[in-house]
């Protein structure tokens, strides 16, 4: 009996030392007390069974700790990788289509030309045309499409800016009953590349006694062109509009027609 008890003690001792290394101090003390009672009651089989359960539980907890450590290392690696991509401006995620790069290059060129024209406009030759006749009623052969959208249009002024003999920018100002429109047309290499429109809606008609010019709402729209084609359209919320629908095709043709009209006015 003494020999068997010593074997039991040796077995449990090693098991408890293993648990202690894992940090189970509270469990260690509890097992000591419980084991003493078991030895006293000579419950050998129960001792082995109890120790086996503890061993399984400890192994399971160890596995969870290892998985947690691996997940922590993996998350740390991902965060480091994202910081590196942000720092270098590169990404390991492939682009879905090469057309994204192509469009980006086109827009970058348009913005560059836009900035260059506006920064140099004071050096350009300016030509003004006051109250031009581009109304459909009086000039059905050569009228402006955008003028038709303004209620009770009263007057239209045109400004054009030339670098040498090449048109760079045209500004068309429409004055209506309760709204105005300012359209800016930009040209490069004799080709339209950008149109910026500002619609101004007043809260009251201009003929009202209490009319205040500051009581107004502005809406801006942007149209990007390349080789006579509309490649991007941003509405007044800067939302990119669908270029494949009928409305976009209609606006494309109308803007191109109006740009030719303003270029050719004497």
pLDDT tens, N- to C-terminus, the chain (266 residues): 544 455 555 555 565 565 555 555 555 555 556 555 555 555 445 555 454 455 444 445 444 454 554 455 445 545 544 555 555 444 444 334 344 445 679 999 999 999 999 999 999 999 999 999 999 998 888 899 999 999 999 999 999 999 999 999 999 999 999 999 999 999 999 999 999 999 999 999 999 989 988 899 999 999 999 999 999 999 999 999 999 999 999 999 999 999 999 999 99
- φ, ψ of residue 39 in degrees (nearest 5): -65, -40
Q: Residue 179 in contact with residue 206, Cβ under 8 Å?
A: no
- The two three-digit tokens of residue 118, written as one number: 């506006």
Cα–Cα distance between 195 and 192 in angstroms, integer? 8
- The two three-digit tokens of residue 240, written as one number: 């990119």
Q: Residue 128 in contact with residue 240, Cβ under 8 Å?
A: no
Helix (H) / strand (E) containing 106: helix 99-119
First to last CA, the chain: 122
CA distances in angstroms from 75 to 174, 249, 263, listed in the order given: 59, 48, 60
């Amino acid at each position: 009996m003494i020999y068997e008890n010593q074997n039991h003690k040796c077995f449990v001792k090693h098991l408890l030392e293993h648990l202690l290394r894992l940090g189970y101090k509270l469990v260690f003390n509890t097992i000591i007390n419980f084991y003493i009672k078991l030895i006293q009651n000579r419950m050998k089989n129960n001792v082995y069974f109890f120790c086996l359960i503890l061993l399984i539980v400890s192994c399971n907890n160890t596995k969870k700790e290892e998985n947690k450590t691996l997940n922590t290392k993996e998350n740390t690696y991902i965060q480091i990788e994202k910081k590196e991509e942000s720092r270098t401006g590169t990404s390991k995620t492939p682009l879905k289509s090469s057309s994204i790069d192509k469009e980006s290059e086109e827009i970058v060129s348009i913005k560059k030309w836009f900035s260059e024209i506006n920064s140099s406009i004071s050096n350009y030759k300016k030509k003004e045309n006051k109250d031009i006749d581009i109304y459909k009623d009086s000039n059905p052969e050569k009228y402006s499409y955008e003028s038709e959208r303004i209620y009770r249009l009263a007057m239209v002024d045109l400004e054009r800016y030339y670098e040498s003999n090449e048109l760079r920018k045209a500004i068309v100002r429409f004055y209506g009953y309760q709204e105005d429109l300012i359209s800016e047309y930009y040209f490069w290499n004799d080709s339209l590349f950008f149109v910026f429109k500002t619609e101004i809606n007043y809260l009251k008609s201009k003929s009202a006694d209490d009319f205040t010019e500051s009581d107004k709402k502005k809406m801006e729209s942007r149209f990007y062109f390349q080789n006579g084609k509309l490649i991007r359209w941003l509405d007044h919320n800067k939302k990119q509009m669908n270029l494949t629908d009928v409305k976009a095709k209609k606006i494309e043709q109308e803007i191109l027609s109006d740009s030719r009209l303003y270029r050719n006015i004497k």
